[in-house]
Amino acid sequence: MGCIGMHHGLRFYRRHSTVFLHVYLLGGKLSRLPLVGTLIRAVANAYGFHAHASYSLSLQEAKQVVELSHVIALGPCSCRQVSHHCHTSENTELIIGVGTEVLPQLRKYESITSERAKSLLED
């Protein structure tokens, strides 16, 4: 997806993030079922690999990403707003890179330093 397409995809996701998060949470619950769970996990893994190319990072790796980022924004955590499972501060969602150009237009985010972002990661 080109830069313009990616920006539109991010805007679409942000406008409908509550729906996406409810689907993700439902998928997590359904993945525990014996037969359906295997299929759901396979679809979720394929989606994550091909659509997001996402990776799990260690704390040190995440800090390195933050150090290399030119722009970092902090805003309310979408997952916490949907699931209500956490009782800590909702203002913990870090947006790094291209997302900072798109998402702050749709919700209130503040620019933060890499030092503050690393402190939040440690917490």
- Partners of residue 94 on adjacent β-strands: 74
CB pairs under 8 A, 24+ apart, for 57-60? 59/121, 59/122
| Counted domains in the chain | 1
Q: Please write the tens of the pLDDT for every residue from 37-57.
A: 888 888 877 877 777 666 667
Q: Residue 24: give the domain boundaries.
A: 3-122
* Whether the predicted pLDDT of 5 surpasses 50: no
Q: Is the pTM of this model over 0.85?
A: no
Instruction: Report the pLDDT averaged over residues 58-78.
Output: 88
Q: Please write the tens of the pLDDT for every residue from 99-116.
A: 666 655 556 788 899 999
Give the pLDDT score at 7.
Answer: 46
* Whether the predicted pLDDT of 97 surpasses 80: no
